[in-house]
Amino acid sequence: MEMLARGGYAARGVVYAIVGYFAVLAAIGSGATKDTDDALSVVFGGPFGTILIGVLALGLIGYAIWRFIQATADPDHFGTGAKGLAIRAGFLVTAVTYTGLALTAAGAALGMALAGGGGGDGGTAADLQRQAVGFLGGRVVAGLLAAVFIGVAVAHGVKAVRCTYERYLKADADTRDRIRPIARAGLIARGVVFFIIGGLMAIRAWTASDTGEQPPTLKEVLDIVRTMPAGTWILLVIGLGLIAFAVYSFIEAAYRRIDVDTQDIPGATRLKNAARIG
């Protein structure tokens, strides 16, 4: 389990590093914004692209599995109160999202065309949303997604201000002091992006009689930011912040406390022992 989780955090860092890099380039007029599927295309087009994208796919599926475990088994003990359930719902959405992104990466590694539906949603997330729309109606689904994204954005802000992420890091005081500015910048930047996504979904839920649209992609959000007053400077700051979030992801890969209570997950002990042996 530890190997899966750490590999997953590192894979997330690679994706956000590429997205943030192209956001910075777009802000200074040297390129276009990218979303997470575009980030996979960049990796796939580089030297040893097939091998790299295959490794990245393994990391992303590991991250999706870890987030699913966090959502269902609650190894970090967020509990079943309103706040805990909201956090765990965010983990579940992340698990579905990164499963789709991992499948896209795996398809690329196998030589298939990259799937459409950017933003890391992939076919899995799109199919689940279509099924939910069929049961609940598009307006309700859009409202629920808005609540989840805005809730995650607020949680990122709280985590940045209170530094609550530090309780999950195996690091001494000096290391935590060095990490803090990077972690705060990254969490705030990602929170801003999620808040914009949630706001757009809320507008769709409020104004449309019915909608089955997917959440906005990262590319769409960054393009919207660029059209705002002083949007170029805002995009530059967000791009640098997403790069900081990538660094924060690598820090989690190195220091995150993964040795948590997962005995309620079928097969978790065997998987953990196999990871240690391997």
CA pair distance 65, 42, nearest whole angstrom: 24
Instruction: Give the tens place of pLDDT for each residue, 65-102.
Output: 988 998 888 888 888 888 788 888 888 888 888 888 78
Instruction: Give the tens place of pLDDT for each residue, 208-250.
Output: 555 555 666 777 788 888 888 888 899 899 999 999 999 999 9
Confidence of residue 136 (pLDDT cuts 50, 70, 90): very low
Lowest-confidence region among 105-109, 167-171, 201-205, 213-217: 213-217
Confidence of residue 119 (pLDDT cuts 50, 70, 90): very low
3 state SS of 136: helix
3 state SS of 256: strand
In the chain, pLDDT over 70 holds for what percent of residues?
Answer: 71
Chain-wide mean pLDDT for the chain? 77
Q: For position 113, what pLDDT does the model report?
A: 41
Residues 6+ apart with CB under 8 A from 117: 37, 100, 123, 125, 126, 214
Q: For position 213, what pLDDT does the model report?
A: 56
Q: For position 115, what pLDDT does the model report?
A: 41
* DSSP collapsed to 3 states, 54-77: HHHHHHHHHHHHHHHHHHHCCCCC
When pLDDT is averaged across residues 162-184 and rounded to a whole number, the result is 91
